[in-house]
Amino acid sequence: MGEPNILLTRIDNRLIHGQVAVTWSNHLGTNLILVANDEVSKDQVQQSLMDMAAPENVQTRYFSIQKCIDIIHKAAPHQKIFIVVRTPEDVLKLVEGGVPLKKVNIGNMHFSEGKKQITSTVSVDENDLNVFKKLTDKNIECIIQRVPDEIGKDIKKFF
């Protein structure tokens, strides 16, 4: 089929919620939010909750990382895909599996033990930074940006 029409990939531990569902979806003009997450792909309750947040005119899909890798190239040309994942590692797995990503929006990575806060919504540890370095070494732009009208920050500033 050709290359899938992936508009953007976002890292957000909350996956689909108001910012993703409304602000980013409208800004991008997406018609499909694809959540690539092993846990959520098997959890109907989480999927139902996220479906409630998604706009009516936007379809949702919940795939494991591997299923996303396996079928993304079968996407129809009219599908304007917005991929949402939970972690930088998920993005790296997608890229290493052949998913053609060019830009990653780093939206929300919660603070937890061992992480340092680098912006108001993003906390990272050494592993996260190493993964971002691998992604940028593959010429994938990684920008921290909460909402579309905010000026993004290149993750390379934090290496």
Mean pLDDT (whole number) for 7-18: 95
Residue 83's pLDDT is: 98
Phi/psi zone of residue 114: left (φ > 0), alpha (ψ -120 to 50 degrees), beta?
left
Q: Which two tokens stand for residue 86?
A: 């939970």
123 three-class SS: strand
Q: What is the pTM of this model?
A: 0.96
CA-based end-to-end distance of the chain: 37
* High-pLDDT (> 70) share of the chain, %: 99
Residue 1's pLDDT is: 57
By the 8 A CB rule, do 107 and 11 touch? Answer: yes
Select the more confidently predicted residue: 19 or 49: 49
Residue 19's pLDDT is: 79
Mean pLDDT (whole number) for 32-45: 98
- 78 labelled catalytic: no
Count CB neighbours of 70 within 10 A: 13
Residue of 17, 73, 78, 110 with catalytic role: 17
Query: pLDDT-derived band of residue 2, with 50, 70 and 90 as boundaries?
Result: confident
Residue 20's pLDDT is: 82
d(CA 10, CA 24): 10
Nearest to 107 by CA among 93, 121, 118, 91: 121
By the 8 A CB rule, do 85 and 37 touch? Answer: yes
87, pLDDT greater than 90? yes
- The domain spans of the chain are 6-158
By the 8 A CB rule, do 18 and 84 touch? Answer: no
Nearest to 106 by CA among 81, 141, 79: 141
6-158 CATH choice from 3.40.50.300, 1.20.1270.360, 3.40.35.10, 1.10.3720.10:
3.40.35.10
d(CA 69, CA 74): 10
